[in-house]
A and B are shown apart, each in its own frame.
Chain A
């Protein structure tokens, strides 16, 4: 019986690298009203950056908030209530960025309507609006088996984990599907592994932790399968 880690897939997994450069726009929000105005007019790439891509830049060591708007509400405006409300806007609940934007605008309008005062930031703590450009590059690393996949996943950079896992969920529009899960689903009969990887909540792990979690799930699957065959 071939170990599950050594089973050959009909199609190899090809690792890509995602080289992102943030692009500041020169615009900044100094209070909530300004943020609301910016949100209404914000081009999609700016919204995309602050919802997703900023994870690839220098992030705080622990991820407290799932997007830059919530993080800024907490650290710039010192408004934890607003930060909690913005944290609970999940882009996967909407079909496109326009709908996400509308939901955020609605949330901020509602919040401002109910608040007699609105907080302002200290100079230097404004929200600096950015977008980003990226180059997607073939890493030259491929995997034919799950064993090779584990070795490769440890060799590639975290940008690759971002591209195939976080960016893939956005690209595929499915909070439980990514490039890794899809490859495993298409090439092996391991539905429980696909489900387990799909259930990783990207908001509660750093990219390094996502990598470690996937590796642990694959290893666990290999152990389970080998127990069953013995």
Chain B
């Protein structure tokens, strides 16, 4: 098991000691995180990293996952898309089933807690039936709800308004709500299989196993096969860039149990890449953390050309590997990636192609940007910062509106 002290050489001794001091002030509390999948996707990864740290800080924490039918996950995926601004048709029957699944899960959960952190819309309505089981309820929204579909947001808002606080990843995602809202950046775990240091041999072994030859510079995008990640736009950008510099494109995507749309989008991407030997599509199982780590370390440029994004954890992961990132100017990426400093923000396949050409042509600049990117992540986006933020928030929420708490 990863120990908190293992983070000292990476994040700094003071950072870790601060966590112990905060936890001591907080005292014994019971904390429950709830989400909708144990594997696959950024939320599950964040929870996997954070849960073992709570017990080392003397906090009794548990991770609960709601169960649902495929119809439920189709509904919540449509809801997710609508909250990110896409037009979808959510029928009354779908919404009724969504509420029923929440109610069924609520009946199964018998725990009691001082703090309950409910992640994203899937389990948001648990609070309706479980309010007395938790003293402070916090809704943690990981998605870009800056321009949500009005009807879907109005529906979800009924549940969110019942919470004592919400957390968003960007100020622009916040909404008019009757409770305090906080800003917290999602983080990565530098010691997990997805981010830990790898030897060149380990990296090569993964490339060999996945059948990816390193005969040309590699452009990589790692993300679910999801229309908001614009994999087809990445293929367009690659085709434009390759006219100038030989390179190859690897699109690697994981699968998550709460994402029924993945297979359809993957088929679309396959069609777009057909007959192109320099494009490799890798559909990886959800636990392919080591493989993703190696791919990111072995790539020359990493792209995350999302058109909507809550917070692109793959951007942070790539930066942690010292790589320059070309990211879509969407959602949290605008903040994660400092334009012209740790990478580039782009608005189109053409813009993406132009930046790919630049970085392939200027390897020294590419290396410098990568170094800055790694330091930027160290300062802002490691899991230790996330733990610190949760501890701070729990201390603050006991003060009932106090803006500055001196301990």
Task: List residues of chain B with CB within 8 A of the CB of A23.
Answer: 180-183
Interface size on A, residues (CB 8 A): 35
Over the window 147-163 of chain A, the binary record of Cβ atoms lying under 8 Å from chain B Cβ atoms (1 yes, 0 no) is 00000000111000000
A47–B177 Cα gap in the complex (Å)?
20
A140–B402 Cα gap in the complex (Å)?
24
Task: List residues of chain B with CB within 8 A of the CB of A133.
Answer: 180, 182, 396, 402-405
Q: Tell whether B133 is near chain A: CB-to-CB under 8 Å.
A: no
Asked if A137 and B172 make an inter-chain contact with CB atoms under 8 angstroms apart, the answer reads: no
A21-60 interface (Cβ within 8 A of B): 21-28, 45, 57-58, 60
Q: Tell whether A10 is near chain B: CB-to-CB under 8 Å.
A: no
Over the window 122-158 of chain B, the binary record of Cβ atoms lying under 8 Å from chain A Cβ atoms (1 yes, 0 no) is 0000000000000000000000001100000000000
Asked if A128 and B174 make an inter-chain contact with CB atoms under 8 angstroms apart, the answer reads: yes
Asked if B406 and A136 make an inter-chain contact with CB atoms under 8 angstroms apart, the answer reads: yes
Instruction: Name the residue among A28, A60, A61 with the largest chain B CB count within 10 angstroms.
Output: A61
Task: List residues of chain A with CB within 8 A of the CB of B14.
Answer: 139, 141, 155-157
B171 in complex: contacting residue of A45, A60, A128, A135, CB < 8 Å: A128
A137 in complex: contacting residue of B21, B183, B338, B396, CB < 8 Å: B21
Q: Tell whether B176 is near chain A: CB-to-CB under 8 Å.
A: yes
A140–B404 Cα gap in the complex (Å)?
19
A217–B80 Cα gap in the complex (Å)?
54
Task: List residues of chain A with CB within 8 A of the CB of B177.
Answer: 26
User: Nearest CB to that of A20 among chain B residues?
Assistant: B392
Task: List residues of chain B with CB within 8 A of the CB of A21.
Answer: 182-184, 389, 392-393, 396
Task: List residues of chain A with CB within 8 A of the CB of B25.
Answer: 137
Q: Tell whether B380 is near chain A: CB-to-CB under 8 Å.
A: yes
Task: List residues of chain B with CB within 8 A of the CB of A138.
Answer: 21, 407
Task: List residues of chain A with CB within 8 A of the CB of B380.
Answer: 58
A130 in complex: contacting residue of B171, B335, B341, B404, CB < 8 Å: B171
Q: Tell whether B168 is near chain A: CB-to-CB under 8 Å.
A: yes
User: Nearest CB to that of B396 among chain A residues?
Assistant: A133
A84–B297 Cα gap in the complex (Å)?
43
Interface SS of chain A:
strand
A22 in complex: contacting residue of B147, B183, B338, CB < 8 Å: B183
User: Nearest CB to that of B388 among chain A residues?
Assistant: A19
Task: List residues of chain B with CB within 8 A of the CB of A130.
Answer: 171, 183
Task: List residues of chain B with CB within 8 A of the CB of A137.
Answer: 18, 21-22, 25, 407
A128–B133 Cα gap in the complex (Å)?
34
A124 in complex: contacting residue of B18, B146, B185, CB < 8 Å: B146
**B392 CB to nearest A CB, Å:** 5
B interface bracket (residues with beta carbon within 8 Å of A)? 35 or more
Asked if A124 and B172 make an inter-chain contact with CB atoms under 8 angstroms apart, the answer reads: yes
A80–B356 Cα gap in the complex (Å)?
31
Q: Tell whether A179 is near chain B: CB-to-CB under 8 Å.
A: no
Q: Tell whether A8 is near chain B: CB-to-CB under 8 Å.
A: no
Asked if A140 and B17 make an inter-chain contact with CB atoms under 8 angstroms apart, the answer reads: yes
Over the window 363-407 of chain B, the binary record of Cβ atoms lying under 8 Å from chain A Cβ atoms (1 yes, 0 no) is 000000000000000001000000011001101100000111111
Task: List residues of chain A with CB within 8 A of the CB of B393.
Answer: 21
Asked if B180 and A136 make an inter-chain contact with CB atoms under 8 angstroms apart, the answer reads: no
Asked if A24 and B396 make an inter-chain contact with CB atoms under 8 angstroms apart, the answer reads: no
Over the window 115-147 of chain A, the binary record of Cβ atoms lying under 8 Å from chain B Cβ atoms (1 yes, 0 no) is 000000001101011111111111111000000
Q: Tell whether B175 is near chain A: CB-to-CB under 8 Å.
A: yes
Over the window 1-44 of chain B, the binary record of Cβ atoms lying under 8 Å from chain A Cβ atoms (1 yes, 0 no) is 00000000000111101100110010000000000000000000
Residues of A bordering B, CB below 8 Å? 17, 19, 21-28, 45, 57-58, 60-61, 123-124, 126, 128-141, 155-157
Residues of B bordering A, CB below 8 Å? 12-15, 17-18, 21-22, 25, 146-147, 168, 171-177, 180-185, 335, 338, 341, 380, 388-389, 392-393, 395-396, 402-407
- CB pairs A–B below 8 angstroms (14 shown): A21-B182, A22-B183, A23-B182, A24-B173, A123-B147, A124-B172, A128-B171, A128-B172, A130-B183, A133-B404, A134-B405, A135-B22, A135-B396, A157-B14
The 3 tightest CB contacts between A and B, nearest first, are A24-B174, A128-B171, A24-B171
